Amino acid sequence: MLSGQKPLHTISARKIGLFNWIGLWTLYLKEVKRFMKVWLQTVVAPTFTTLLFMAIFSLALGGMGREVAGVPFGTFLAPGLVMMTILQNAYQNPSSSILISKVQGNIVDVLMPPLSAGELAFGYVMGGITRGVIVGLAILVTFFFWPGIEVEIQHWGLFFYFLLSGATLLSLAGVVAGVWAEKFDHAAGLNNFIIIPLSLLSGTFYSIERLPELAQKISLVNPFFYLIDGFRYSMIGRADSDITVGIWMTLGLNIVLWLLVYKIFKSGYKLKP
């Protein structure tokens, strides 16, 4: 026995309380460091793409002092673009992280530590939320200095609710997609044919009042519409829907998806041999 080393009989097993805070924090840091290590791709690139959207649509549709919902077109467009980018990035982080771990065969390194199903779910989801919020706030700060756009938050409670609710919803969906997908084509297909169309056809670039009645009814069953409309209302004070309905719908979807993600990790579906 080396000098200063405790005898083996005096070493006790480390006790973990109700929550494995160290393990949970480690998983969360892994997810954050993963996307921050390539920040040009994960933070700067989507921010730059969103600014291009703003520039193009402002030039094409915002000329001649055009107003939508009683505000300049750029001011109307900004909240929708911010939320759309938050949704897409919150989804991409856990979906790509879990899928890459499965393909490379190192998902076992996450499943072996003493982390409960709830802790695994929370760690992955918080990583996606963090990426979505960082990108969204980076765009929002940029819009603050953009000519012709008035960035003003009128309802702080609703601002934070829809910001976090949207990021949580898509981060949970990203976990489900990452576990379900068996190859990159599967994950890309979900993103290209479900996530992106739902976000683009959710009132990001227009008010649904301009749509035919049937298209308006279809929009009202799109959860992305309520996230974007509620987030826009928190900033410009104008909404195309009942904000209360949006709150309850998004809250309900988050609860359902959380239970599904918990069940997935609890059962080891497509994660354990």
Look at residue 64 in the predicted model and tell me its pLDDT.
Answer: 54
Based on the number of CB atoms within 10 Å of its own CB, is 30 exposed (0-12), middle (13-18) or buried (19 or more)?
middle
In terms of Cβ atoms closer than 10 Å to its own Cβ (0-12, 13-18, 19+), residue 257 is buried
- What is residue 9's predicted lDDT score, i.e. its pLDDT? 54
Closest CA to 194 of 209, 216, 173, 164: 173
Q: Is residue 11 part of a domain?
A: no
Q: Report if residue 30 sits inside a domain.
A: yes
pLDDT exceeds 80 at position 65: no
pLDDT for 169 equals: 97
Supply 208's token pair: 């649904």
Average pLDDT over residues 125-144: 96
- Give the chain's domain count: 1
pLDDT tier, 267 (very low <50, low <70, confident <90, very high otherwise): very high
Return the sign of the alpha-carbon dihedral for residues 175, 52, 163, 131.
positive
Name the E strands within 48-180.
Answer: 67-68, 71-72
Q: Determine, yes or no, domain membership for 199.
A: yes
75-106 b/e (C-beta count within 10 Å ≥ 16 → b): bbbbbbbbbbbbbbbbbbbbbbbbbebbeeee
Closest Cα to residue 177, out of 190, 196, 165, 166?
190
pLDDT confidence of residue 266 = 94
- Decide if 12 is inside a domain: no
> What single-letter amino acid sits at 165?
S
Please indicate, yes or no, if residue 14 is contained in any of the structural domains.
no
pLDDT, one tens digit per residue, over 186-241 is 988 888 899 988 988 888 888 888 888 888 898 999 999 999 999 999 999 999 99
Q: Which two tokens stand for residue 273?
A: 């041999």
5 — pLDDT class (breaks 50, 70, 90): low
**Domain for residue 10, yes or no?**
no
Whole-number pLDDT of residue 252: 97
Beta-bridge partner residues of 71: 68
Average pLDDT over residues 138-144: 94
Q: How far apart are CA 256 and CA 28, in angstroms?
A: 22
* Domain around 196: 22-267
Mean pLDDT (the chain) is 90
The answer to whether residue 213 is domain-embedded is: yes
